[in-house]
Structure 1
Amino acid sequence: MKMMLNLFVYTLVAFILGSCQSSSEKNTQEAIDKGEEGFITDLDDNRILIKGTYYKVTNRTYIQDQHGKDLSYSDLVIGMKVKPWHRGGIKKTYPAKAEAESIRVLTDEKSFVEQKAVTAAIEHMSKAESQRFIVLEVMHLPSEHVYNIEMMNRSNLDSSFIVTVEDFTDEILYIK
């Protein structure tokens, strides 16, 4: 009987000690999830907006190009194509919020050309410094030499619009 009581007490103590982790220990055990690849459309207060999610960049966030070269937050620019990873889930606000674990900047030729077209579209559509856009999709139509960029203004989430950009000159051809 005494042996059963001792076993119970030891089990109880082990359970209590095991559940008393610090928040930093818990944070390192949270799963890392891949966010949705997209284009940076806003940089504000160590946050980057990619599609409908703001990723908070902290001193623990790894920022690299696709070749493994380390970058910093100050190297990021609007229009860059990136792949984000986050830790701790996404807060379901609008825009959604997550803590960036890693940001991979895509530097291949296709991503660079898309970046130029996206940047031209955002600059053309921005009538005020405070205007924020979300790039939903970028589609290249090589036979027509254009990019169709589906965008949405954060202040009007009811509808999206297409900005057509010429693929050689980054000239805005039309908006529909």
Structure 2
Amino acid sequence: MKKMVNLYLYVLIACMLGSCQPSEWNKREGIDKGEEGFLTDLDDERLLIKGTYYKVTHDTYIQNQHGKHLDYSELKVGMKVKPWHRGEATKSFPGKANAKLILVLTDEESAAEQRAVTAALEHVREAESQRFIVLGVTHLPSEHVYTIEMMNRSNMDASFMVIVEDVTDEILYIK
């Protein structure tokens, strides 16, 4: 009986010591949620969402909010998305992260915001090389407009507002 207790004790100690060793599972970096926003640049398998470029790899899963798998080629500038990434995003501006999941929001509100953001981006873009960041979108239903706060990546000192009519997506004002 004493030998059996000693055997269990040795097995318990070995298991405890074994769990202190770095395993493949413990080495994996966690998955973090990025900031929800709008795709404003699709370039070389990278997505610019707010202030972060997300690198899309063969490990990245892209889907809509109903669970339908999407291909990278189906992504469009202006789409509202929720990104998840593996590991830390870099502290540079724009930041960089490896995308694990890109969730494309397809509800009615997100689709309306997408149309307004797309119209605003098309209106302010003067050259194909220009890159913008959408900082925020606010719908003012009583005034029938969206206010879209944007920033040009080449001039990050100041943001500007684009006012878009909420039914026709007509640009009403830029300030």
User: Shorter-chain TM-score: which interval?
Assistant: 0.7 to 0.9
One-letter amino acid of the counterpart of residue 50, structure 2: K
Shift of 1:154: 0.3
Amino acid across the alignment from 2:100: E
Q: 1:168 maps to what in 2? A: 167
C-alpha distance in structure 2 between counterparts of 1:174 and 1:112, whole Å: 21
- Residues 97-116 of structure 1, C-alpha deviations (whole Å, 9 max, x = no match): 00001000000010000000
2-structure distance, mates of 1:95, 1:30: 21
2:130 partner letter: Q
Q: Which position in structure 2 is the counterpart of 1:4?
A: none
3-state DSSP of counterpart to 1:89: coil
Going from structure 1 to structure 2, the CA distance change for 1:77 and 1:26 (only over 3 Å counts) comes to farther
Task: Give the structure 2 partner of residue 18 of structure 1.
Answer: 21
Question: Secondary structure of the equivalent of 1:78?
Answer: coil
Identity in percent = 68
Aligned partner of 1:123 in structure 2 is 122
Residue 120 of structure 2: SS of its match in structure 1?
A: helix
Deviation of 1:149 (Å): 0.2
Residue type of the partner of 2:37?
Answer: G
Q: Which residue of 1 aligns with 2:112?
A: 113
SS state at 2:63 partner:
strand
- The CA deviation at 1:18 is 3.0
Q: Within 5 A, what are the aligned runs for 1:79-90?
A: 79-90=78-89
CA distance in 2, matches of 1:26, 1:155: 40
Root-mean-square deviation (CA, aligned residues, Å) is 1.8
TM-score by length of 2: 0.87
CA distance in 2, matches of 1:99, 1:73: 14
Q: 3-state SS of the aligned residue for 1:123?
A: helix
Report the CA distance between 1:30 and its aligned residue. Answer: 1.2
Gaps of at least 5 residues in structure 1 are 1-6
Amino acid at match of 2:145: V
- State the alpha-carbon separation in 2 of the partners of residues 101 and 128 from structure 1: 31
Paired letter, 1:34: K
3-state secondary structure, aligned to 1:68: coil
Alignment partners' CA distance in 1, 2:94 and 2:45: 15
> Aligned with 2:148: secondary structure?
strand
Cα deviation, 1:24-77, whole Å, max 9, x if unaligned, reads x566x2111000000000000000000000000001001000000000111100
Q: Matched residues in 2 for 1:95 and 1:35: separation?
A: 13
The match for 2:144 is 145
- Structure 1 segments of 4 or more deviating over 3 A? none
Please give the alpha-carbon distance, in whole angstroms, between the structure 2 residues aligned to 1:32 and 1:94. 21
Q: Residue 53 in 1 paired to residue 67 in 2?
A: no
